[in-house]
């Protein structure tokens, strides 16, 4: 990210928040229509820093959706309903009495789809008085810091992802139950190392939330290698941590990051609005 940190921006201010990934963008009100040059620089910052954050935004669901549409095609989040008046906005809620948070494990979103999302955009509506941060991890670095021999070992391997992997599925049970929805089995296969379609860089593309095993191997045979990758890819040196406030907006690249919402605010509500942008088939 060294070159990215020095890139000149003419229409926005970009301030990196860690050495691995993440930057705050200042000087932009995304509720208003933005010039093409501003959108282009926000997208460049997104590609440079993998996740970007904008604070002090005041957005209706329709305004959040309109902003997201400048970067991709919004899609329905699998198995969960969106807002009644804006179905492509998915509410992400933890209630005060709940002990388990939605998606509370390291993961890249919905890799159990054949075409996983390109990006996600999350907007903070109501936050606890403390806690509720989100961690992000750079999967370019996770791949690039492996030895040459280990990278060769991973070449050609295919990971199998499932929506029913136990640790991840239990983080969705309350929301599915409240919506009266059935938890369906969704399974997809993706290369363990994927090439980013815009930057050309390679990134690790397995995650503890959804990857169950390697194609052609059993779960037991896959476990030692996967366990090492799961630990390695969230090394603290590859991460950043974002502290939310009401009005904060995060926009991250699911093709080269993982994220983990920290579940440390029991007894308080946390309400977010999420837009998911459609992606392509990993290669």
Q: Of 213, 259, 270, 273, which is the active-site residue? A: 259
Q: Give how far Cα 120 sits from Cα of 7, 76, 237, 276, Å.
A: 24, 12, 23, 5
Q: Of 48, 49, 107, 213, which is the active-site residue? A: 107
Residue 274 annotated as catalytic: yes
Q: Of 109, 194, 213, 255, which is the active-site residue? A: 109
Burial 61-97 (b: 16+ CB within 10 A, else e): beebbbbbeebbebbebebbbbeeebebbbbbbbeee
Q: Phi, psi at residue 47, to the nearest 5°?
A: -70, -35
Handedness of CA 28, 34, 36, 37 (dihedral sign): negative
Residue 259 annotated as catalytic: yes
| Bridge partners, 261 (sequence order) | 134
Residue 107 annotated as catalytic: yes
Q: Are 17 and 4 in contact (CB under 8 A)?
A: no
Question: CA 283 to CA 280: how far, in whole Å?
Answer: 9
For every residue of 140-199, DSSP letters joined together read HHHHHTS-HHHHHHHTT-EEEEETT-HHHHTTTHHHHHHHT------EEEEESEEE-TTT
* Length, in residues, of the chain: 283
Q: Phi, psi at residue 4, to the nearest 5°?
A: -60, -40
| Bridge partners, 91 (sequence order) | 273
Q: Of 172, 175, 273, 274, which is the active-site residue? A: 274
Residue 183 annotated as catalytic: no
Residues belonging to the active site: 107, 109, 259, 274
């Amino acid at each position: 990210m060294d070159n990215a940190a020095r890139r000149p921006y003419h229409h926005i201010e970009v301030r990196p928040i860690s050495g691995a990934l993440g930057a705050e963008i200042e000087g932009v009100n995304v509720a208003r229509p933005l010039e093409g040059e501003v959108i282009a620089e926000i997208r460049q910052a997104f590609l440079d820093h993998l996740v970007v954050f904008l604070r002090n935004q005041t957005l209706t669901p329709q305004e959040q959706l309109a902003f997201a549409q400048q970067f991709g095609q919004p899609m329905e989040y699998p198995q969960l309903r969106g807002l009644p008046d804006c179905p492509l906005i998915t509410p992400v809620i933890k209630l005060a009495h709940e002990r388990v948070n939605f998606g509370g494990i390291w993961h890249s979103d919905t890799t159990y789809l054949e075409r996983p999302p390109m990006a996600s955009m999350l907007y903070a509506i109501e936050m606890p008085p403390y806690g509720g941060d989100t961690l992000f991890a750079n999967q370019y670095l996770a791949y690039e810091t492996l030895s040459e021999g280990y990278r060769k070992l991973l070449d050609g391997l295919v990971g199998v992802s499932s929506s029913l992997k136990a640790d991840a599925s239990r983080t969705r049970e309350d929301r599915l139950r409240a919506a009266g929805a059935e938890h369906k089995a969704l399974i997809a296969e993706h290369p363990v190392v994927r090439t980013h379609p815009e930057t050309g860089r390679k990134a690790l593309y397995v995650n503890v939330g959804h990857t169950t095993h390697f194609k052609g191997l059993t779960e037991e045979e896959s476990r030692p290698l996967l366990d090492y990758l799961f630990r390695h890819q969230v090394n603290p040196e590859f991460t950043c941590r974002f502290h939310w406030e009401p009005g904060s907006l995060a926009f991250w690249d699911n093709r080269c990051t993982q994220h983990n919402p920290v579940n440390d605010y029991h007894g308080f509500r946390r309400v977010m609005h999420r837009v998911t942008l459609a992606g392509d088939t990993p290669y």
